[in-house]
Amino acid sequence: MKKLQLIFFFINTYFSISQEYKVSGVLYSIQNEPVQNATILVYQENEIIAYTYSNTNGRYQTKFNLKGRESNKLKIVANSLGFQEKERIISIENKTEYNLDFILEEKAEQLNEVVLEAREKIKVKQDTITYKVSAFKEGSETVVEDLLKNIPGIEVLSDGNIKVNGKAIDKLLIEGDDLFDDKYKLLTKNLDANNIEEVEVLNNFEDNPVLKNFQESEKVALNLKLKEDKKNVWFGNFDLGYGTYDRYNSTANIGLLKKKIKFFNLTNVNSIGRTAISQVKNTGKLNISGFDTSKKIEKTNNTFVNIDNLSSTNFSNNEDIFNNSFLNSLSFVTNLSKQTKIRSLTYFTYDEIEKQNDNITEYFIEPEVISFNEQNRVNIKDLSFATELELKHYSENETYFTYDFTFENNPTETKGNLIFNNDNILQFQDDKKYNFFNHLSNTKKITNNTLLLAYGYLGINNTKQDYTIQPNIFSDIFNNDEDLTITQNSNTPLSYYGLISEIVTKGKKSEYGLEFSATVDRDRIENSFRFDNQTPVDTISNNTDYKNTRISILGKYNYDISKLFKISSSLSVSQNYLDVNNTKKDFFFINPKIRFHTKKTKIGNFGISYSYQNNLPQARYLTEDFILTNYRTFNRGTNDIQQINNHSFGFFYTFNNYKKQFLINSFLLHSFADKSYGLNSQITEQTNFNEYQIIDGGKLTNYNLSITRYLKAFSSTLKVSTQQSWSNNPIIINNNINEVINYNANYRIQGTTYFKLPVNFKFGFQYNYSKGEFDNQISTNEYLESNLGATLKLSDQWLFKIENNYYSINENDYWFINANLNYNPEKSHFSYRLSANNLSNITEFKDIFISEFQRNETNFRVIPSYILLNIKYRF
């Protein structure tokens, strides 16, 4: 009997040791709200044997095996930032699954939070910096973009993209939710600034909850927090604006932000230079960290014809854009369940744009100078419709699933009326574009130290272009009748798909990753060139079929050398199967990367990097015959297929002291290639014939530095920045091979005051200098821009603002003056704004640009002065 008891004892001990146990539950606050991203630790005899994190619904789950020790008691500890730590003791008996819920009490966080009273409510709390917008508002802001421009460290670029201390933001959230993804300009350019209470900068941002609890992120995001009276109710505004010369700018915005659903409908119509399509153009993203499940592989197909090739001005406020534009966007995000969220965005844009300029071009090439005159007038009708749908699911077993679908349709008609050397030329370009994107990703936590990530994508794009020219300006070349109509029809479909999977394992000081990918790109270029309904001209017609199948394995290794230093490396091995018009070639690539950098230190972060990249030529470089791209230019590819090797070296340094609002961002990049695909151009007075061929590689060096500092003694923020670039590239013009050497420099100073006075200022100055050298000829260009704005608070209801913008372009000077008067009655839903634009009434300006081998003198038309009255109703 004793032997039998002994046997049962050993069997029971064996199973208690080898069996897997599970502890799960939910974490709540005392307000009965789920606590996410909390840490749950499992102790056995004061040793951690398992840990996990709570998801967005407060749920957690961890599995573990018990070690053979005397104690059968476990201590479960739950803690989260802002809450008091709580623990519970359980005894392991016959059960293998235990359910433990925690109710966490809030505590005052003082150690990691700094409130800077000198700047009125700037809070620094670990990776989150909160700005109280009332401290930075001047009173004249109309939309969120105007507000963000006032906040130190946040930069709004001329195209509307946003950076924080030199780094492009990954997302723009509103009350913690993403409604617009990379179309966030819809929100910043249309949402009323009066709705915003706080702006949060989220460093170390990660949207994927599984990755967030697994590794650090280098991404940054912004979160807009609304005023309390705008939450859980319908809110919005109607803003009607009309002025002289039929100028108008009106908006209608409606929003609803609740815990379970967030909704926005944004509408704008205007004729003051704000095109609708510019608000929905994608913002670029650069992934410099490890696996990023939020990245989307979305490619663009080839487009060749572009008669809207008028040079752009350097003006910052679209003073030269004549438009009639309409925009409407509808977005929402809602919780289908505690684990599932769905987001949708649908938008419609319509632009009518008129451009006009006169241009004189001279080419300084042997044996004689080539020159011609152009008088351009271009009318564009651009329509865009798109819809996006995104589904996110975070399951209890710590699996994160996302599906993203996008459809875009963008037909465009462009009419050009051109006088070329006194000859009238009519051009018509009809584009029909559509894009179809699919993304599916899955992140699975296998163990506490291992993740499995998978991403699949499918894209289908197509552009059809119908291009006509009247009269036949190529009659001398083709020996035919001038009365014929030139017609080119092109079709450029692109389809691509792929699967990428990676397993990541981390240890105490190291992290390993092994990634497998299989991708296929299918690109076709079809065009036919004819006169009237005649047979297509073979030498200007193409049927290029390009297919690249790529299989690769990527190994990653990151190691913490010490508490301060870290090394990150990767090695990619890939096999490429290229098929161009049934000509097949195989390429084997080895691409290494290595990066040595510091972690967060008191003196900032710095790092150095090196990468070696092999690339294959794109389909546009491999067309068999010429393609007409505008009324005087033909391009043709080559049948010489070679890989291009590129070396890149980098150095960066950043310093972020948000407590003192002292920010530094700097980087230096140098790259060079052994060879490249360049153009061999044959230029005459009437035509440009360009052919791609293999030429020597070029060199490029970029240096950027920006310093932002809050000057307490002057109650102002000052930003000083510079951008420098040096490049050397070979070029072939009329069989003359030379090297083009360029240097470009930009210097900029910007400042904003926050005086506790009725008056505040914004000022800026930038100077651009460029120098080029070609065939022993040296050319230089200078461009200077300065601005000074003053805001005067006349009373609690009245505010006056004036803006002065000065431009000097190669010794041509222009001074624009804009002013507005704002009236905001107390306890009223109405507000009023009277704007006067271009008070100096500049109607045209001249831009002279001199490059290494050509000179362009262009006269642009400018929107004349006008007055606009806006009446806004908020609810």
- Which DSSP string corresponds to 392-405? EEE-TTSEEEEEEE
Q: What letter does residue 18 receive in the DSSP assignment?
A: H
277 three-class SS = helix
**Which has more pLDDT, 736 or 394?**
394
Distance CA 436, CA 411 (A): 15
The encoded tokens of residue 250 equal 């009106």
Share in percent of the chain as helix, strand, coil (round to 5): 5, 65, 30
402-421: pLDDT as tens digits: 999 999 999 999 999 999 88
- The mean per-residue pLDDT over the stretch 669-690 comes to 92
DSSP type of residue 535: P
pLDDT at position 6: 43
With a cut of 80, say whether residue 852 has pLDDT above it.
no
Q: In this predicted structure, what is the pLDDT of residue 127?
A: 84
The reported pLDDT for the residue numbered 290 is 39
CA distance 575 to 589: 6
Interstrand relation of 777-793 and 716-733 (parallel, antiparallel or unpaired): unpaired
The helix (H) or strand (E) run that includes residue 652 is strand 644-657
d(CA 407, CA 18): 52
Asked whether the beta carbons of 208 and 293 are under 8 A apart, the reply is yes
Q: Of 103-112, 712-721, 765-774, which gets the smallest average pLDDT?
A: 103-112
Cα distance between residue 322 and residue 247, in whole Å = 10
In the three-class reduction of DSSP (H, G, I as helix; E, B as strand; rest coil), residue 159 is classed as: coil
Q: Is the pLDDT of residue 676 over 90?
A: yes
Q: Which residues pair with 610 in a beta bridge?
A: 594, 649
Please compute, for residue 324, the number of CA atoms within 13 A of its CA located in the half-sphere on the CB side: 7
pLDDT value at residue 67: 61
628-648 burial: b if 16+ Cβ within 10 Å, else e: bbbbbbbbbbbeeeebbbbeb
Of 851 and 612, the structure prediction assigns the larger pLDDT to: 612
Mean pLDDT of the chain: 88
With a CB cutoff of 8 Å and minimum separation 6, the contacts of 630 are: 305, 306, 307, 309, 427
| CA atoms of 174 and 397, how far apart (whole Å) | 28
Residue with tokens 């539950």: 25
Pairing of strands 777-793, 759-774: antiparallel
Assigned token pair, 870? 């806006």
For the cut 70, the answer to whether the pLDDT of residue 197 exceeds it is yes
Indicate whether this model's pTM tops 0.85. Answer: no
What is 129-154 written as a DSSP string? EEEEGGGT--S---BHHHHHTTSTTE
Nearest to 291 by CA among 438, 174, 448, 400: 400
Given a contact cutoff of 8 angstroms between Cβ atoms, the answer to whether 403 and 440 are in contact is yes
> Is the pLDDT at 775 greater than 80, yes or no?
no
Segment among 49-63, 509-523, 685-699, 824-838 with least mean pLDDT? 49-63
Alpha-carbon distance values, 578 to 92, 516, 592, 622 (Å) = 61, 19, 22, 12
Phi, psi of 58 (to 5 degrees): 80, 0
Contact indicator for 143, 193 with CB cutoff of 8 Å: yes
Average pLDDT of span 696-711: 94
Q: For residues 676 and 695, is the Cβ–Cβ distance under 8 A?
A: yes
Q: What is the pLDDT of residue 114?
A: 43
d(CA 689, CA 709): 52
d(CA 213, CA 550): 32
Rounded to whole angstroms, the Cα distance separating 217 from 196 reads 27
Distance CA(289)–CA(279), nearest Å, equals 28
Peptide bond into 34 cis (omega under 30): no
pLDDT at residue 316, as a whole number: 64
The predicted pLDDT at position 543 comes to 95
35-44, 432-441, 537-546, 833-842, range with the lowest pLDDT: 35-44
* CA 429 – CA 305 distance, rounded (Å): 8
Is there a contact between 768 and 783 (Cβ–Cβ < 8 Å)? yes
- The 10s digit of each residue's pLDDT in 339-365 is 899 999 999 999 999 988 888 888 877
Paired sense of beta strands 633-636 and 627-630, if any? antiparallel
pLDDT of res. 500: 96
Tokens of residue 43, six digits = 């102790």
**What mean pLDDT is predicted for residues 461-490?**
94
Task: Check pLDDT > 70 for residue 871.
Answer: yes
Considering only residues 167 and 282, tell me which one the structure prediction assigns the higher pLDDT: 167
Question: Where in the sequence of the chain do the CATH 2.40.170.20 domains occur?
Answer: 240-874
Peptide bond into 367 cis (omega under 30): yes
Contact 439, 460 (CB under 8 A): no
From 278, 284, 415, 263, select the one nearest 354 (Cα to Cα): 415
Provide the 8-state DSSP code for 282.
Answer: P
* Rounded-to-integer distance, Cα 586 and Cα 505, Å: 33
Q: Which bin fits 87, alpha (ψ -120 to 50), beta or left (φ > 0)?
A: beta
Nearest to 871 by CA among 830, 836, 837: 830
Question: CATH 2.60.40.10 region(s) of the chain?
Answer: 2-104
Most confident of 486-500, 591-605, 683-697, 780-794: 486-500
Q: What is the pLDDT of residues 224-268, one digit of tens each?
A: 999 999 999 999 999 999 999 999 999 999 999 998 899 999 999
Residue 84's identity, in one-letter code, is Q
pLDDT tens-digit map of 387-405: 999 999 998 778 999 999 9
**Which pair of structure tokens corresponds to residue 26?**
């939910």
Q: How far apart are CA 293 and CA 13, in angstroms?
A: 43
Nearest of 872, 871, 860 to residue 354 by alpha carbon: 860
Q: Provide the pLDDT confidence category of residue 287 given band limits of 50, 70 and 90.
A: very low
Query: Closest Cα partner for 745 from 777, 702, 786, 693?
Result: 702
Per-residue pLDDT at 313 = 63
- The C-alpha atoms of residue 55 and residue 61 are separated, in whole angstroms, by 10
Top CATH class, 2-104 = mainly beta
Residue 801 in contact with residue 822, Cβ under 8 Å?
A: yes
- pLDDT, one tens digit per residue, over 305-347 is 999 866 566 666 777 889 999 999 999 999 999 889 999 999 9
Lowest mean pLDDT among 44-58, 425-439, 684-698: 44-58
* pLDDT > 90 fraction of the chain, expressed in percent and rounded: 62
- Give the separation between CA 374 and CA 418, rounded to whole angstroms: 7
Task: Give the confidence band of 111 by pLDDT, cuts at 50, 70, 90.
Answer: very low
Question: Does the pLDDT value for residue 645 go beyond 80?
Answer: yes
Q: Is the pLDDT reported for residue 526 higher than 80?
A: yes
- Residue 70's pLDDT band (boundaries 50, 70, 90)? low
Q: Identify the bridge partners of residue 331 per DSSP, sorted by sequence position.
A: 264, 345
Give CA torsion, residues 813, 815, 816, 817, to 10 deg.
180
Question: What pLDDT is attached to residue 588?
Answer: 97
**Cα separation of 630 and 307, whole Å?**
6
- The verdict on whether omega for the bond into residue 758 sits within 30 degrees of 0, i.e. cis, is no
Average pLDDT over residues 293-298: 74
Q: Output the pLDDT for position 853.
A: 72
Superfamily classification of domain 240-874: TonB-dependent receptor, beta-barrel domain (2.40.170.20)
Segment 855-866, tens digit of pLDDT: 888 888 889 999
**Contacts made by residues 442-445, CB under 8 angstroms, sequence distance 24+:** 442/399, 442/400, 442/401, 442/402, 443/208, 443/210, 443/211, 443/293, 443/399, 443/400, 443/401, 444/210, 444/398, 444/399, 444/400, 445/210, 445/214, 445/397, 445/398, 445/399
Q: What is the pLDDT averaged over residues 545-564?
A: 94
**Which of 385, 380, 376 minimizes the C-alpha distance to 357?**
376
Q: Which two tokens stand for residue 272?
A: 């003051």
pLDDT score of 288: 33
| pLDDT digit string, tens, across residues 131-164 | 999 888 888 899 999 999 988 889 998 888 999 9
Residue 817 near residue 837 (C-beta atoms within 8 A):
no
Whether the Cβ atoms of residue 872 and residue 238 lie closer than 8 Å to each other: yes
CA distance 370 to 710: 53
